[in-house]
A and B are shown apart, each in its own frame.
Chain A
Amino acid sequence: MRERRAVVRTLAPPLVALAIVLAAWEAVTRALAIPAYLLPPPSAIAIAADAHAGSLGQGILTTARAALIGFGLSAVFGVVAAVVLASSRLIERALYPYTVFLQTVPIVAIAPLLVVWFGPGLRAVALAAFIVSVFPVIANTFTGLRSVDPALRDLFRLYGAGRLATLTKLTLPAALPQIVTGLRIASGLAVIGALVGELFAGFSEDAPGLGILVMSSSRQLRTDLLFAAVLAAVALGLALFGAVNLLGARVLGRWHPSEKAEPFESRNQ
């Protein structure tokens, strides 16, 4: 009962704010008779979304697949790369500057190159999602691995722990909060990367992704459908972000203070 009230208290204010904004939007577009190709009212967007529910749904699935593959690659490669970087100061000095390259590479410029190398389609789109989302995973994991309590490192040394035991029993678990933070940032970026990738490499898909829907509806001045596709992309990003958050809370909930949802007294009930 108390939990339900807490949920209402958390969700009610943003929902009320959203309703007010939508109502104002609807009223203003109607009152000023703004042409639908400039700014369609929310009702028109809803009607368009309903009329194109099939292609929007397909678009979400196509984009989600590419974003998830890119995100998965980022998670695996990002953590492995950070472990390698953190394994020695020499490797860190030699390679860390180049990981920043991944952060600064303009995906809009590199996407055409991906099409040249891998051809249009899922592979190029997923790679775009990967390139955009991997750096936060590397950087956060690396920070986490490096900020392990020095006394605990001493303790492992005192008891003769090898590199592997220290990694699996100390540094990786200690870095988990930062790894989850990196994945959280990467989840949103992977969707953005997939959308941008589709603009360049998504045209060969049987079921066009959201990036293709955005582009085609903008060319046809179907602004209502454009809005619907953008909202679908936002929903996809939120879903992935929410999934990572849930996973993080599950993994860390028991011990990490930032994830602790409730005081520990109530845990034993």
Chain B
Amino acid sequence: MVEPEAGAPAGIRARSAAVEPAGVVTTAVRRVFPGGVVAVSGANLTVEPGSFTAFLGPSGCGKSTLLRMIAGLDEPTAGTILVGGEPAGARRVPIAFVFQDAHLLPWRTVLENAALPLELAGVSRAERHRAALAVLADVGLDDAATRIPAELSGGMRMRVSLARALVTRPHLLLLDEPFAALDELTRNRLDDRLRAIWRERGTTVIFVTHSITEAVYLAERAVVFSKRPARIVADHTIELPRERSGALRGEASFAREVRKLQEALEVADA
């Protein structure tokens, strides 16, 4: 485990290995959309600082809605959400959000896309470019800094999106089925990269997916949601070594964890 820096100030700082991870506590969170559709019903959940948690559930079940509420992009109808001890949406804790698609600004270069969050925070040009180049190196794209999104493959675009999320050194990283649209090989590579980044930085990660194998491979813990309205039906610690590589996917322990989650998900979908 990478040690969080003691007494490090919140907000955006010069590049260093680790951040101060933020935990998440949701209490009786409920979200009813206009029109009466209940998306989330009574979610009680504690996500430990520095942990890697997967939200697993059927497509369209409301797990993404819960993630958006944690990011402060949507508000619960009832209940409270605390991020790093502050109400969600207060923006005191640096949070990053990675969407299902890359969602880059097509008129900007890769470097300027990755630097965008720092630009919006008023960081000087030289400093934000330095930080952006560093995160682009983390995702293996520093040689593509001057290219534009239209020139990149889907996997490269997603890596730029990941770099843009990491550039503010977030204490909480939220990912909403980020690699779902990619081919399996690219997806596995990005999974490995994401885990390496998590281990190096120690930031809290919540990863929404409907892929059981992806959840098992990536996460330390899987929270299983039911069909809409999303309720938590299982909370499962994934018993696999911290050191993970592609070979793990073929091992019996991996298959055992997958089977357990599969059973939980079948109950959820019933």
Contacts and interface: CB of A to CB of B under 8 A. Distances in A.
Contacts of A174: 105
Contact of B105 (A152, A157, A257): A152
Contacts of B150: 255, 257, 260, 264
Given A254-B107, A255-B106, A158 B151 contact: no
A157 B95 CA distance: 12
Given A255-B148, A255-B150, A264-B150, A158 B103 contact: no
A46 B101 CA distance: 59
Contact of B103 (A155, A159, A256, A260): A155
Q: How large is the interface on B (under 10, 10 to 19, 20 to 34, 35 or more residues)?
A: 20 to 34
Given A154-B73, A158-B72, A264-B150, A170 B97 contact: no
B121 interface: yes
A151 B120 contact: no
A160 B92 CA distance: 11
B258 to A, nearest CB: 31
B105 A170 contact: yes
Contacts of B81: none
A158 B106 contact: no
B117 interface: yes
A254 B120 CA distance: 23
A173 B113 CA distance: 14
B107 A255 contact: yes
A38 to B, nearest CB: 54
Interface residues of A, number: 23
A156 interface: yes
A156 to B, nearest CB: 7
A160 B91 contact: yes
B156 interface: no
A154 B148 CA distance: 22
B71 interface: yes
Interface string B96-126: 1101010101110000000011011100000
B106 A256 contact: yes
Given A170-B105, A173-B107, A154 B97 contact: yes
A151 B151 contact: no
Nearest to A149: B103
Interface string A167-210: 00110011010000000000000000000000000000000000
Contacts of B168: 159
Interface of B: 68, 71-73, 91, 95-97, 99, 101, 103, 105-107, 116-117, 119-121, 148-151, 168
Given A152-B103, A158-B97, A256-B107, 5 more contacts: A154-B99, A160-B121, A169-B120, A254-B107, A264-B150
For the complex of A and B, list the 9 residue pairs with the smallest distance between their C-beta atoms, beginning with the closest.
A159-B120, A151-B103, A255-B106, A255-B107, A161-B120, A159-B117, A151-B99, A154-B73, A264-B151
16 contacts: A151-B99, A154-B97, A155-B103, A155-B116, A158-B71, A158-B73, A158-B96, A159-B168, A160-B91, A160-B121, A161-B120, A169-B119, A169-B120, A173-B105, A256-B107, A260-B150
